[in-house]
Structure 1
C-alpha cells in the first residue's frame, strides 16, 4: 500500500529536536546524511560476480562516463552540428511569441585575437539570451564590431614597417580595413566555438556604409541642437599618436616618474590690502609647486584659494620672504630643508589685485587670481596657471581673458613661439630639463626632485600624454547632464553601486572631445574656409554626403574632389566651382561617438532590455551611448545596465605577455602544444568558469580554477548519466505514476525539485549565474547523489521492471532529469544537448533549447512533506552515525516511538511491525526495520541505543515526542541477488527476490 500524504495534516510539523549536545538544523541534517551514505556514482551493484546478475535491472545508457582529452572538444563540435547551434537564433526569431528580449551587444574592438575578457563578456550575454529564449521570449541580439580608430591603424601600419611612412590616406585606410576584417573573422570564429547564439551572417560593423551614414545624421542632429561645437580648448593629447584623446582613452600609470619643482614667482605689485605688511620685506615671492615644469613658459597667472588662510614667511637660510598657504608652512619648509618664520597670516582674498614677475620671462606679468580648483592637499597652496595646458587653467583664463597660446606642437615639441632655447625640444624630455636650467639661471628654482605618481597614458600606444590646446570638436555634456541623470533613475543597475559611478562620470565631464587627427574613421562632415575661421555645414551638405556614403562608404571623403562632395545647389551659392574656397576637414569622429550611436543603427525604435559590458565602459561605451541617446531621444538606451569586472590570473595579477600569464581561450578549449601542461578542456568548462565567477569584482582564471571546473562538471555529468541509465526502460506517457500514489520519498524529492527549479529560475532572472551554480552544487551532490540515489538503488535494480514502487521512483527521476538538463542548458549548452540526445523517450524536437524552460507542478510543494521526511531522516542520521564506515545492510534497526502524532506519521512509512521492504527501511538503508510503540522485551547486549525527540505542532496541538533507535547486527544471511541480510540461509534468495524471479 502506497502512502497518501494529507496536505493539511502535516503543514505545521517542525524539524527534529535532539537531546543534549545536538545543534543540528535541517541543513546540517542533510550534510550529515550526505557524509553517511555511499554516493550515486559508486557503481558497485548487488549482482557483481553473481549468477543472478542478468536478473538485476542495472542502468543502461550509451552516454560516456567521461570524455578524455580531445574527446570533449570533438563531442562539442559534433553537438553543435547535430543540434543546429548555427540555426538556433533564426529559429527562435521566427517564433510567434508576445514577449521580446533585447540585449544590445557592445562592439568589441577588431584589433586582435579573442581573449578571456571577450569570453567573460560574450558568454555572460549568451547565458542570458539562452535563458530568455527558453522561457519563451524572442531574443534580439545582433553582434557587432568596432572597426575604426587608432589601435587598428597603428597595428596595421606596424606590420608594414618603414613602408608605412609614405602611405597616402587611402592606402592607410585600405590597410587598416583589411586588418580589421581579418580580426573580425578570427574573433567571430572563436565566439561561435564558445557556443554563442546569434545570427552570425547579419552582424553590425561600424565601417558599414549604412552605419557610417547614420553617424553623419546623428552628428548633424546634435549640431543643430547646439550640442556640438568647435572651439580652441585644452584636451588630452597623445604626442605618440599625434591626436586628441577622450578621457575614456586614457589609462593611468601609477609608476610614472616626473620632475617636480618648487619655484619662486617674485612679487611685482603687492596686493593693496597687504601693502603695509609687505613694506620693507623685499624681496617677496609666491612659491608654487608643479610636476610639469615644461608648462612654466606658458604661465599666465598664479592662483590662490580666496577662503583659505595664507602666510608671509621669512626663510632662515636665505632671508627671503615667501607667500604660501598657512597650513603648508611647516611641510614646505621641511621639503626645502629650512625653517620659516611666520611674519603675518591673512585670508587668501587679501591677495587680490597683486601680481608677480614671470620666473623665466622677465617682461611678462603673472597676476594673482582667485580660483576654486586650488588644492591644499599637495604643493604650496599657490598654483601656477598655463591656460593652454590645463583644464582648470583654461576656465580661469576664460574668466579673466588671459592669453591661451599653445607652445607645444602635435609631436609634443616646443614651437618657435617658446623661444630659441626651447624650440624643437620635447616637452616631457629635454624640454623639461631646459626649463629647469632656465629657472636656475634666474635664481627662481628652490628645489627639484623626482616624484613617482599616477599619470595619464595613451591606452593604445602606452606612452604619456600631455594637455594641449587646439581647435577641436566638442559635445556640450553640461547641456545634457540634468536629463541624463533623470533618465538614469529609470535604469536598473547591477550592481546598484554602478549608478553612482555613471552619475559621477556624467557630472565630472563638462564637455567631450569627439575629433581625432587620423584617417581611419568616419570624417567629421564639415568644410573649412581656406582663409577664414569658418566652417560650412547645413542640411543640404549633410543630405548629399549621406547619400554618397550610403552608396560608396566614407572613402569618398578622400577619393572625391571637394566639388563632388558638395551638392550642386550649395556649389552655385558659393560661386565658381573652380575657385572653391572650402576644403574638407581633416578630422575624424572619436570611435566612442561611433560605437555610442550603435543603438541608433541596431535598435532605433526601441530601448534595449540589457546592456552588459565590463566596468571600463562606465566611462566609455555606456557613457557615449547614454549621451547620444539623451541628445536624440531624451532617454537612456537601456533598461538594465550590468557591469562586470576584469579578468586576472589565478594569482590576482593583470595578464600580460611580459609576465607570461596570458591565458588564451583557444588553448583552454583545444589545449596547447603540450597537453600534459595545457589539456583541452572544451568550451563548457570555459562557460562554467564564467558562470561560477563573482563577475562583479575581478575574475580570476588559471589551471587550478579550470581543473576545479572540470571536476565539478564531471560530477554533474555522472549525476545526469545515472538519471539517464535508470530511465532506459521508462516512458513517461505510459509508465508515470500519479503524484499522490508515489512513494513518500519520491514525493519529497519532487517537493525539493520544485523549490530548486524556482530558485534557479529566480537566479537567472537576476543575472546571478554564480547563484545558479551554487543552487546546482547544493542540489545534485548532497540531495541527489549522496542521498536519494543511494537509497533508491535497491528499488531500481531489484524490483520487477513494472512494479509500481519502481515506476514511482522512475517518475521522480524523469522529472529530476528534465529540470536538471534545462537548469544547466544556458550555462552548459553542449552537455545539456548531449544529455538530451540520450534521453530514450524524447523524440522531437531533438534540442533542449527548442523545448522550453523548467516546468514544475504546484502539487509538488506540499506543506508538511519536508518536515515528515526530515523526522524520519533524523532517525536515519542517528542510525548511520552509530556505524561509521560500516555497511548499513548488515544491521537491523528497531525504532521505538511513544504513542502519539509522531508514531502515526512514521507508521505511514512502515505499515507492518517488522519489514525490510517498507519506505522507512528503504530510507534508513537497513536490511530489516521494526517499529514499536514501546521498548522490546529484550535488547541484545551488543545493541546500540540512541535517543532523540521531535517537536510536532499539528493543527494547534503541540507535542514533543521521544523516540529511541536500537541498532543490532542482523541475524539473517546475505541475499546473493540484492545483498540485503534478509535470507534464511546462505546463498538463498530473500523472499522479495524469490517473488521477483518467480
Structure 2
C-alpha cells in the first residue's frame, strides 16, 4: 500500500444498507456542463477506448475484438428507399395484417378508419393521419391484440362532382345525371388507387384488398337502412326551413361544409323602421308631434325586402333619443346610444328611457313597403354586442329569425331562388338580380328613395363560404330533410362523458360545436351521392316511404348500387303491393325524389358497416381537429340515434400540417411538401434527397400532433439526422454481439458488472415509460425518451466506457460476456421500442442479428420483454455517486486523454466509501469496475488523505448526499479527487497507459493475448 493504512472492510449490515432504495443525489450544476437524463453531469471525453479501432493497424491487430456486422452505417442516395422496398418484400409487410387476424388471442383492438376524401393526390395531411393510426395499430398488435382496421374512402359529394363538371366546361349542362355519376365514380376510383399505393408505401398495415368505399352497393344499402331506422323513430323529417345555401353549387350545405372567410366585405346599413302603433307605455313617452323610428342595423341589406318583424330584448333598457342633426326621434337600446351616434357622426339627446317589455304589441312600418306592418316581438337571440339592440327579422333568411316566425305565425316565404337571385315575388325592381351583388345595390337605392337609409358603410368580417367553390353562401328557406338533433344532443353529451378524449380539451370543443348546431340538414340538390329513398306525389305536397318501399330499394341497391335510382323506371323502384296502391304502373302518381344524402351522413354511418355486431364500439377514432364538427359528430349522432351508444371509446384529435413558419400549405406559396418527394427525392437530389418512408414516420411521431404540426426541409433533415445517429447506435450493438450466443454465453444478472446491471436498470425504466407513452398515444414522448437514451445514456456514456472491455478482453472472458449480455437486452428493447414508428429499420436490424439463424419479423415476436430483477434502485446511488467523482476528474482535463492520467479518490469513512469500494476491492487498480468508469490509467481509493503527494497534481473537492429509505437515513460525505499524469507507458495493444514500457503489453493484454 502506497499511502497509509487501508480502511476496515464494511460489515454485511452496512453493505445491505448501501443497496436499498435511495433517493436521487443532489449534484451541483457547473457552468458549461450538460445534465443527462439521470441528472449526471458529463463532458465529452477522449480516451484510449475511443481510438482503439486504429490500433488494429499494428502487430496486435488480429487480437483486438473489433465490432463485426454487415449492417450498413449509412444508406446513401437511393439506397434508403430501395432498402425499404426490399424489406417490405422480404419481411412480408403485405401479409402481416392477415397473419395477425388469424392468431388465437384474447383481446381485439379496433381502430375505425375515418375515410379520407377520394378527390386528389396523397398529401402530408394523409401521411400524418395514416402513420399515427399505423403506429397505434402496430403497438397494440405487438402487445398481443388482434387488430381490426378496415381502411375506407369517402367517395361521393360535391367536390368530386364539381371537379368532373369543370373538366367539361360549357358542355357540362348537357350531361345526364347518370353520365355525371359514371364520370365521378371513375374519378374517385383513380384517386383511391393513388392514395392506396402511397399508404402501402408508407408501411401502413392493413388488408388492402378489403377496404370500405361509400359508393359500394352494400355500403349504400346499409346506409339506406340506417336512414329508414332514424326516419321510423321520428328522428328524420322533411321541413321548410332556412339552411346554408350555396348559389355557386346550387345546393344546401351543412355546417361542416362551410369555411369562414375573415376578409369578407359586407355593405352594412343603418335603417329606419317608422313607428306605426306604439304600445301604451311607449305612447305616453312620446308627444306624437314628431315622427319616431326604430333604428336597425344589418350586414345583409338584401334580406330587408323579406322582413316580417323587428325583435327586441324584453329585459334590456331602451331609449327615445333626439338626433342633433335632423331633430328626428329614434328608438334604440340605451347601451347603444353613444356608439350608434358616433357611427352616424351625430349626437343623441336622451328624451326618456323604458324597459324592453314596454314595446310589447307595438308595430312599425316596413321600410320598403309602406302598407306592410312589421310587428315588434320579444326574442332571446337579440344581443347588445353589435348593432342597435333591435334586430331586423327575415324568417326565410335566418335560423333564429325562423324560430321567432314559428312562435308568432309569421310568413316564411323565400324571395330568393337556387341561384341566389331574387324571384318575381320580390317585385319588378329586384327580380332576376343576384342578392349578393346587384340585388344588394338596388335594395340600398330603394331604401335611399324611401328616405329610410341613415348610413351605409363597408364592414370586413368573418362570413361563411362554400368549402369547395370558395364563394359566399346565403341563408335561404327551402324544403329539406333534417335530422332532429335536439333530441339526440342530450343523450350524446351524456355518452361523451364516458369517452376518453386526447387531448382532453377536445371534448369541450366537440360539445360546444354540437350545442351551436340548431339542426342537421342532410339533403343535397346534387346527383353524385346516395339518393334519399322517397317518392313525391306529382300534384300534392305528399311523399311516400315505408318499410316495404325501403326493403325493396335496399335489395336493389345491394345488388346493383344506387345508380338504379336513375336507371330503373319509377314503377320498378316500388314493390308490386305498393305500386298497385299508388296508381299502378300506367298511372303512377309518385315520382322518385331528386335529393341525395349529405356526405357526412354517408361517412357518419360507416360504423354500422365496418363494426361487426350491434353493440361493438371502436377502441379508437383518430382524426384531425376539423372532424370535431364533422365525422366524429355525424358518427356519434347516427350511433346514438340507432343504438343509444357512442361508436368510440377513445377519440384522439390531431392538428393540421402547416409550413415551416406556421402558414397553410398552398401551391401559390410554393410550400407544399409532397410525401412522394420526401420518400423518393425530387428532381434535384441535393435539394430534395430521397429520405425513405421511415423519415416521414419519425417526423410524424416526434411532432406534437395535438397542436398544429409543422413540416419543412429542415424538420425532415433533422429527422434523418436522428435516425442516422440511431443507426450508428444499432450498428455498435450489432457489431459487439457478434460471436455471442445469449442461450449459452449470458451472465446471470447478479454476477454482471455493476455498470452493466445499472444499464439494465435504466433499460427497465425506459421500457416502462415507453410502453406508457404508447398507451397514451403520445408518440412524441416515445421519440424523446428513445433519443435521450441512445444519444446520452448509450453513445455518450456507456459505449465510451465499455469499448476497452469489449475490444481487449478475451472473447469469452466473463467481464466481456457481462457487457454483451447487457448489449443483447439493450438491442432487443431498443428495436421493439421504435418498431411501430420505424418498421423498416426495425426489420432491417432483425435481419442482421448475428445469433438468430432464421430471423422472424420483429412484429411477429411480441412487445418489449424486461425482467423485474433488472430493477435495482440502489444502483442509481452507486453509479451516480461514482459519476459525480468521474465528472470532477474529466472536467479537470478538458480535451485531454483520460487514460494519460491517474486518479485518486479520497472518501471519508462511511456509506459513500462502502458504496464506491464495491466497484474496486483493492486499493489501486487499472482493471477494476471503478477504473473502467473513470477511464483513467489507474484509480486509487483511500479512506484518508495520503501523507504526501507530488507537486504536479490537481485537487478537487466535493460532497455527495446519500438519502436512504425515503429520508430515514441521510448522510453527506465529503470526497477529494486527486488527478496526476500517469507514470506508466502506452500499451501497444489497448493504448491505455498501463504498460511498464512502450514495447511491452500491459499485464491485462498479455493475459488476453496469451500464446497468440
**Quick check: TM above 0.5?**
yes
Distance 1:67 1:843, change over 3 A: same
2:942 is equivalent to residue 906 of structure 1 = no
Secondary structure of 1:518 counterpart: coil
Alpha-carbon distance in structure 2 between the residues aligned to 1:700 and 1:828: 20
1:86: which partner in 2?
Answer: 94
Q: How far does residue 843 in structure 1 lie from its aligned partner after superposition?
A: 3.4
1:990 aligned onto 2:1002: yes
Q: CA deviation at 1:954?
A: 5.5
Tell me the SS of whatever aligns to 1:952: strand
Q: Single out whichever of 225-234 and 19-28 deviates more from structure 2.
A: 19-28
Alpha-carbon shift at residue 39 of structure 1 (Å): 10
Determine which of 879, 882, 891 is the counterpart of 1:869.
879
Q: CA deviation at 1:842?
A: 2.2
Once superposed, what is the RMSD of the aligned Cα atoms?
1.9
> Over residues 77-125 of structure 1, what are the superposed CA-to-partner deviations in whole Å (9 max), with x where a residue is unaligned?
1111111111110010100000110000000000000111111110100
**Alignment deviations for residues 467-490 of structure 1 (CA, whole Å, 9 cap, x no partner):** 010000000000111111111111
Q: Are 1:46 and 1:977, in contact at CA under 8 Å, matched by a contact in 2?
A: no
Q: Encode CA deviations 1:266-313: one digit per residue, 9 max, x unaligned.
A: 111122211122223421111111110000110111111111011111
The residue aligned with 2:865 is 855
Q: Does structure 1 retain, via aligned residues, the 8 Å contact 2:37–2:788?
A: no
> What is the TM-score of this pair, normalised by structure 2?
0.96
Match of 2:939 among 896, 907, 929: 929
CA shift, 1:899, in A, is 2.4
Structure 2 equivalent of residue 382 of structure 1: 390
- Take 2:407 and 2:52, find their aligned partners in 1: how far apart are those partners? 87
Report which stretch shifted further, 798-807 or 865-874: 865-874
CA distances 1:629-658 after superposition (whole Å, capped 9, x unpaired): 000110100000111111100110011112
What is the 5 A alignment of 1:629-648? 629-648=639-658
Give yes or no for the alignment of 1:517 onto 2:529. Answer: no
Provide the residue aligned with 1:501 in structure 2. Answer: 509
* Residue 28 to residue 752, structure 1, CA distance change in 2 (3 Å): closer
Say yes or no: does 1:807 pair with 2:805: no
Q: How far does residue 158 in structure 1 lie from its aligned partner after superposition?
A: 1.6
Decide which of 637, 642, 652 is 2:662's aligned counterpart: 652
The reply to whether residue 791 of structure 1 matches residue 818 of structure 2 is no
Q: Residue 157 of structure 2 corresponds to which residue in structure 1?
A: 149
Cα distance, 1:538–1:172 mapped onto 2, change above 3 Å: same
Matched, 1:244 2:226: no
Report what 1:782 is aligned to: 792
Q: CA deviation at 1:14?
A: 4.7
Question: What do the CA deviations read for 1:842-868 (whole angstroms, capped 9, x no partner)?
Answer: 234521111100010000001311111
Q: 1:961 deviation in Å? A: 2.3
Q: 2:608 aligns with which of 589, 600, 603?
A: 600
- Please list every run of 5 or more consecutive structure 2 residues that lacks an aligned counterpart in the other structure: 1-10
Change (3 A) 1:119 1:265: same
Q: Secondary structure at the match of 2:770?
A: helix
The answer to whether the 8 Å contact 1:212/1:522 transfers is: yes
Q: What is the match of residue 212 of structure 1?
A: 220
Match among 971, 979, 984 for residue 967 of structure 1: 979
Partner of 1:567: 575
Partner of 1:119: 127
Q: Which of 334, 346, 350 is matched with 2:342 structurally?
A: 334
> CA shift at 1:958, angstroms?
4.2
Deviations 1:696-748 (A, max 9, x none): 11110101111111111111111111101111111111111111110010000
- SS at structure 1 position matched to 2:381: coil
Q: 167-176 or 651-660: which moved more?
A: 651-660
Give 3-state SS (helix, strand or coil) of 1:579's partner. Answer: coil
Q: Relative to structure 1, is the Cα distance of residues 457 and 17 closer, same or farther in structure 2, using a 3 angstrom cutoff? A: closer
Aligned to 1:314: 322
Query: Which residue does 2:439 correspond to in 1?
Result: 431
Task: Give yes or no for the alignment of 1:128 onto 2:140.
Answer: no
User: The residue matched to 2:918 in structure 1 has which SS?
Assistant: helix
Instruction: Confirm or deny: 8 A CA contact 1:17 1:948 kept in the other structure.
Output: no
The residue aligned with 1:981 is 993
Residue of 817, 823, 827 corresponding to 2:837: 827
Q: CA deviation at 1:42?
A: 6.0
Map 1:636-785 to 2 at 5 A.
636-785=646-795
- Deviation of the 1:498 alpha carbon: 1.2
8 Å CA contact 1:210–1:550 kept in 2: the answer is yes
Comparing 945-954 with 566-575, greater Cα deviation is found at: 945-954
Q: Secondary structure at the match of 2:766?
A: helix
Cα distance, 1:954–1:182 mapped onto 2, change above 3 Å: closer
1:588-616 deviations in Å (ceiling 9; x for gaps): 00000010000000004210000000010
Residue 420 (structure 1) aligned with residue 414 (structure 2): no
1:6 is displaced (CA, Å) by 7.2
Q: CA deviation at 1:387?
A: 0.5
2:304 maps to which of 296, 304, 315: 296
Q: Note the C-alpha offset of 1:15.
A: 4.5
8 Å Cα contact 2:18/2:915 also seen in 1: no
Q: What's the CA shift for 1:751?
A: 0.3
Q: 1:284 to 1:637 in 2, by over 3 A?
A: same
Paired residues for 1:520-599 under 5 Å: 520-599=528-607
Deviations 1:770-821 (A, max 9, x none): 1101111221111110000000000000011111000100000000000000
Shift of 1:664: 1.0
Query: What is the DSSP-based 3-state SS (H/G/I as helix, E as strand, rest coil) of the residue aligned with 1:971?
Result: coil
1:343 is matched with 351
Query: Matches of 1:255 and 1:331 in 2, distance apart?
Result: 23
Give the one of 632, 635, 645 matched to 1:622.
632
- Rounded Cα–Cα distance in structure 2 between residues aligned with 1:834 and 1:43: 29
1:937: Cα distance to partner? Answer: 2.9
Distance in structure 1 (CA, Å) of the matches to 2:357 and 2:854:
83
Instruction: Indicate whether 1:180 and 2:173 are aligned.
Output: no
How far did 1:406 drift? 0.5
d(CA) in 2 for partners of 1:661 and 1:923? Answer: 50
> How much does 1:9 deviate?
4.3
Alignment match of 2:41 (pick from 14, 32, 47)? 32
Q: CA deviation at 1:203?
A: 0.2
Indicate conservation of the 8 Å contact 1:46/1:979, yes or no. Answer: no
Deviates more, 1:259-268 or 1:891-900: 891-900
Asked whether 1:235 is paired with 2:247, we answer no
Matched, 1:73 2:81: yes
Could you say if the C-alpha distance between residues 215 and 834 of structure 1 is closer, same or farther in structure 2, counting changes exceeding 3 Å?
A: same
Contact 2:25 2:963 in 1 (8 A): no
Structure 1 pair 345/685, CA: closer, same or farther in 2 (3 Å)? same
Q: Is the 8 A contact 1:723 1:814 kept in 2?
A: yes
Where 1:939 maps in the other structure, the secondary structure is coil
In the TM superposition, what whole-angstrom CA distance separates every residue of 1:55-82 from its partner, at most 9, and x where no partner exists?
1111111111111221111111111111
Say whether the 8 Å CA contact 1:41–1:722 is kept in structure 2.
Answer: no
| CA deviation string 1:202-229 (max 9, x = no partner) | 0000001110000110000000100000
Contact 2:267/2:300 (CA < 8 Å) preserved in 1?
yes
Deviation, structure 1 residue 13: 3.9
Q: 1:483, 1:634 within 8 Å by CA — same for their partners in 2?
A: yes
Change (3 A) 1:950 1:391: same
Alignment size in residue pairs: 995
Aligned-residue offset at 1:836:
1.1
TM-score (normalised: structure 1): 0.98
Please identify, of 434-443 and 863-872, the stretch whose mean Cα deviation from structure 2 is larger: 863-872
2:3 corresponds in structure 1 to none
TM-aligned CA distance change 1:570 to 1:39, over 3 Å? farther
Match of 1:465 in 2: 473
Show CA shifts across 1:747-773 (max 9, x none): 000000000000000000010001101
